Structure 1
Amino acid sequence: MRATTGRVVGALALLLSLGAAAPSRQPAFDIVISGGRVMDPETGFDRIANVGIRGHSIVAISTTPLHGQVEIDARGNVVAPGFIDLHAHGQMQLAQRYQAHDGVTTAIDAEAGALPLAPYYQAMAGRSIINYGVSASHRCARIEVIGGVPCGGHFATNEATYRVWTHAGAAGDRPFTQPATPEQQARIVALLRQAVDEGAIGVGLGLEYTPGAGRSEIYDIFKMAADINAPVFVHVRRRTPDAAPGVPIAVVQELIADAAVTGASLHICHVHSTGLGDTPVLIDMIDRAEARGIDVTSEAYPYTAGSTMIGSEFFAPGWQQRSSITYSDLQWTATGERLTEESFNRYRRETPNGMVIVHMIPDAIVDQAIAASNLLISSDGQPWMTQGEHPRGAGTFSRVLGRYVRERHTLTLMAALRKMTLLPAQRLEQIAPAMHNKGRIRVGADADIVIFDPNRIIDNATYEHPMQFSGGISTLIVGGTPVIRNGELVANVFPGQAVRSQPTAARRPATNRPARRNTA
């Protein structure tokens, strides 16, 4: 009986997708989105159509009228897959409110990660506005193995646990600065593998924050990741104090070499803040590596400033020379003030977990990174622990659509959507096959959908006033449940689901990944 019902539903969906009229005027769908410009980056579908949703899924796309229990008028608006943010540290309800208003339906902390996994998933289950997921944290593994203390779960679920990103309590800085012995190295790798087996969507390495991690330790992690078809998400090593020319190139070459030799999948976080003036070379390296069959991707956010904790290893001696910046290029998020040598030293000593905005990326470099066809858009958004933090946690995706698509014509609308939806979904498909049904508008895909006015969408968050919702997004649907209607958050609705790794046997090998290169 169940198989027969499935065939009937499938036939109905097919008829509707071809434009056939429904046989009855009774509502056939839970939700119908009518008259919008439906855009699917996977197939290039771009036309005025109606979308029928039943349960968690899209079950019809039709050019003839559909009838639903809830009908959303999308005339004059774009109907697109919900945005997928692979680099979102703000894994808490407050952050999710801003992400939802920015069109995000899935937010993953792939760089910092978590370990152990159980506290993270327990904290998020049933309390999430949008979908969520996390990598296995290399920093946490080092805290537990070298520091000998529990990591305490996920960095970003609240302020207290976020502090372990920089400080390990009684362990001090040893987990970040001390090289691992061969025995410790093996234990670190084993902990990371166990976390992936428990659901982590890959391995997250913050190498700039763990300068004690040697090259053989990272190579062993890549070998393990290749064995279980798990991607490795990396914030690259810091530049040397003398700011030698080409150092950003060298630290990326280490990772591409490890990926090439082991066969592991590599994702390089925020390539433009890593490369600065060398970013064009890094983009070319990534494109050429992928063209030769190495599974490597990267990302960028549409801002000329990064952000980090003032007590982190980013500000180890030599930071000015490494990044060609000085104290006045730092902005204290709690007050918005620009720092001096005196205030920098005071905050670093007294409030090491406080966040600073780091103004260091040239405009031209950001423009080139956003325009690069195969770089994903990710926010690197931080948890909201003060009234400050970085505006990228609230405005990244709307900023790309408003400023880089509509105002500057840096990208076409379809190209921008592809970088925000299809590419990040494909990045995760090898380890989380369920992502094959996200990042698309097609029959059978998950009903994760954003509806926005292309003439009005814009970011409102600024460095001085970052906690501002983006404008122009009228509706956001997560798993078939509206979480934003008429531009307002729906109260007490938490449809977000975990994105987790599947058992190794169920994963798709990276060598069989779908093509990501833009052939248009």
Structure 2
Amino acid sequence: MHRSLLPFLTVAVLTFLSACTGPAPSSRAPEYDVVIRHGRVVDGTGAPAMNGDVAIQAGKIVAVGKVAGAGRTEIDARGQVVAPGFIDVHTHSEDVAELPVGENFIRMGVTTIVTGNCGGSKLNVGEFFSSITKTGVALNVATLIGHNTVRGQVMGGSFARPPTDAELEKMRGLVDQAMKDGAVGLSTGLIYLPGTFAKTEEIVALAKVASSHGGIYASHMRSESTGIFNALDELTTIAREAKIPAEVSHLKLSGPAAWGRADEVIAYLDKARAEGLRVTHDQYAYTASSTGIGTLIDADFREGGAKRFRERLADPATKAKMVAEMKGSIAKGKRGDYTYAVVASFKADKRLNGKTIPQAAKILRGADTLDDQIETILEIESRGGAQGVFHGMSEPDLVKFLAQPYTMVASDSGIRRFGEAVPHPRGYGNNARVLARYVREQKVISLEDAVRKMSSLPARTFHLKNRGELKPGFVADVVIFDPEKVSDPSTFNDPHHYAVGFSDVIVNGVPVIRAGQLTDARPGRPVKLQD
């Protein structure tokens, strides 16, 4: 080769290599706040994972792929998944301003929560958001406006009747104000007081208000057992008449009498969507639910509050009706007794925490016959009530629901006080359990689809703008986890353990978990429907 050509060939080779590799991180490109390098990027859309980097600047994602410029914070995600921060659309976290870290959520990759579910919320959404901003929280927070909260505010103790025209108008006004303040929709809890006494027409009227603002209707339906199809009829009627998207809260089939009908439920939901309704659902990855022990007693006996309940309990004839109804319910559900129900938190007697109802009956009454179990439940309710865990679902049904494309992963949990009582483990491990048990071990769904169910699907369903995807211009909520190590050590008997396998969690561009350690940052903020 002629020597005079060498300089030109050298320049050409260097130019080619530069085009292939890009400039070194320290040269030419502007610096970023954070650069995550060498990760397995799962962008939240369900698309196949790719190897690459993610750059963050001013709270937004600005580049995904090969990032040349340096970050002020550099995170090596080699061997780990980089995904959008998870969005939990079904929480009970109205106390987030008092518990601003929400460590049980962020430790399992959740960066945004939707509270106000099952009909219970803060009444004044504007004040709620102001308190979050003033306090400073680690998570982003959206809320629904709760029907039970609104109904209780307007109708006082008169629950077992329809509202008057004037009362309904006041209820509409409260929902309207909440939506103007940024609520993402209306929720109902139709097994709870006072919502259980509401007729469908009342809910339609309020759902129309939420619909006018572009909100969603999320419902804990009247039945999740053998009456589920009637409950779904009501939900779809509300969706149709109010012209509103509908969300089935914590989709399940509860109790042996209802097991095995998942395919029928799925067919019902698919048919509703084929008819033009926008229907979605969320689910936690456990075969036990959690709610008040008082729900084991028919709502008619609990109407009017604690004082009225104790009065009914003191009347022999009324008490006899209570007991007969409870025995009938046990027989209808094919459960045998209350072994499936566990006391999670009973402030009046902490000895019962973690005990099944038969075990609690032994402690309180020295015997565990069905009559003693019923007496124990009535006593617990008369002494202020308790939270319970109810083992009542089958895993084959759970798996079928999880595999559906419109199912989101949601915990149905509040913010945990570490070490307090014996709560459901879903508050510590729900997202981790999906990734470990149903992605890695059982391969029920793919990693990419699991992340989609935790990120872009929730964001789009609840209209959380520019969240749920790793995409330039989107909010920089990001989670980094090891797909081979992620797990949920929290159990029913020993729940107070944070999820493992999550090395970094970033909220609005700021790390709240860095290299496995909690930081002092509180970058969370209210997320409003108008945002």
Identify whether the pair has TM-score above 0.5, normalized to the shorter chain: yes
SS in 1 for 2:486: coil
Instruction: Compute the displacement of 1:495 (Å).
Output: 0.6
Contact 2:126 2:182 in 1 (8 A): no
2:172 maps to which of 189, 211, 230: 189
| 8 A contact 1:206–1:235 mirrored in 2 | yes
Deviations 1:117-155 (A, max 9, x none): 1332233224311101111111111111110xxxxxxxx
What residue in structure 2 maps to residue 516 of structure 1? none
Q: How does 1:209-358 map to 2 (within 5 A)?
A: 209=192, 210-238=195-223, 245=226, 247-273=227-253, 276-277=258-259, 278-312=261-295, 316=299, 317-318=325-326, 319-320=329-330, 323-325=333-335, 326-334=337-345, 335-340=353-358, 341=373, 342-352=375-385, 354-358=386-390
State the secondary structure of the residue aligned to 1:211.
helix
- Map 1:115-514 to 2 at 5 A: 115-125=123-133, 126-147=135-156, 171=157, 174-175=158-159, 177-209=160-192, 210-238=195-223, 245=226, 247-273=227-253, 276-277=258-259, 278-312=261-295, 316=299, 317-318=325-326, 319-320=329-330, 323-325=333-335, 326-334=337-345, 335-340=353-358, 341=373, 342-352=375-385, 354-384=386-416, 386-429=420-463, 435-490=464-519, 492-502=520-530
CA distance in 2, matches of 1:20, 1:287: 48
Aligned CA distance change for structure 1 residues 62 and 219 (closer, same or farther; 3 Å): closer
Structure 2 residue aligned with 1:77: 80
**How big is each residue's C-alpha offset from its partner over 1:16-52, in whole Å with a ceiling of 9 and x where there is no partner?**
xx98546826761111101000111327152110111
* Mapped partners of 1:343, 1:329: distance in 2: 14
Match of 1:31? 34
Distance in 2 (alpha carbons) for counterparts of 1:424 and 1:363: 23
Matches of 1:381 and 1:81 in 2, distance apart?
21
SS in 1 for 2:422: coil
For the residue of structure 1 that corresponds to 2:262, the secondary structure is helix
Letter in 2 for 1:371: A
SS at match of 2:196: coil
Q: For the residues of structure 2 that align with 1:119 and 1:483, how far apart are their CA atoms?
A: 25
Shift of 1:103: 0.4
Contact 2:204 2:241 (8 Å CA) reproduced: no
> Residues 272-317 of structure 1, C-alpha deviation per residue, up to 9 Å, x if partnerless?
1569534332222222222332111111110001111223477544
Counterpart for residue 104 of structure 1: 110
Structure 2 CA distance, aligned partners of 1:356 and 1:64? Answer: 49
CA contact (8 A) 1:248 1:274 kept: no
Q: Is residue 2:52 matched to residue 1:49?
A: yes
Q: Note if contact 2:46-2:451 (Cα within 8 Å) is conserved in structure 1.
A: no
Q: Is the 8 A contact 2:126 2:178 kept in 1?
A: no
Per the alignment, do residues 190 and 279 of structure 1 end up closer, same or farther by CA in structure 2, a change over 3 Å counting? farther
Counterpart-to-counterpart distance in 2, 1:272 and 1:416: 18
- May I ask how many residue pairs the two structures share in their alignment? 449
Give, in whole Å, the separation in 1 of the partners of 2:286 and 2:381: 24
Distance across 2 between alignment mates of 1:476 and 1:384 = 18
Using the TM superposition, give the Cα deviation of residue 484 of structure 1 relative to its aligned residue in structure 2, in angstroms: 0.4
Higher mean C-alpha displacement, 307-316 vs 258-267: 307-316
**Structure 2 gap ranges (5+):** 1-19, 300-324, 346-352, 359-372
Deviation at 1:86, TM superposition (A): 0.4
In 1, Cα distance between equivalents of 2:138 and 2:289: 26
Task: From 57, 61, 64, give the equivalent of 2:64.
Answer: 61
1:329 Cα deviation from its structure 2 partner: 0.9
Label 1:392 to 1:322 Cα distance change in 2 as closer, same or farther (>3 A): farther
Shift of residue 501, structure 1, vs aligned partner: 2.1
Aligned equivalent of 1:155: none
CA distance in 2, matches of 1:179, 1:313: 24
Cα distance in 2 between the residues matched to 1:196 and 1:67: 42
Sequence identity percentage: 31
Q: 1:453 to 1:132 in 2, by over 3 A?
A: same
Scaled by the length of structure 1, what TM-score is found? Answer: 0.81
Rounded to whole Å, the distance in 2 between the matches of 1:301 and 1:465 is: 18
Structure 1 residue runs without a partner (length 5+): 1-17, 148-170, 430-434, 504-520
**Deviation >6 Å, runs of 4+:** none
Q: What does residue 91 of structure 2 align with?
A: 88
CA distance in 2 between counterparts of 1:95 and 1:320 reads 40
Distance across 2 between alignment mates of 1:19 and 1:290:
47
Which structure: larger Rg? 2
Distance 1:186 1:282, change over 3 A: farther
Q: Would the alpha carbon gap of residues 344 and 313 (structure 1) be closer, same or farther in structure 2, given more than 3 Å must change?
A: closer
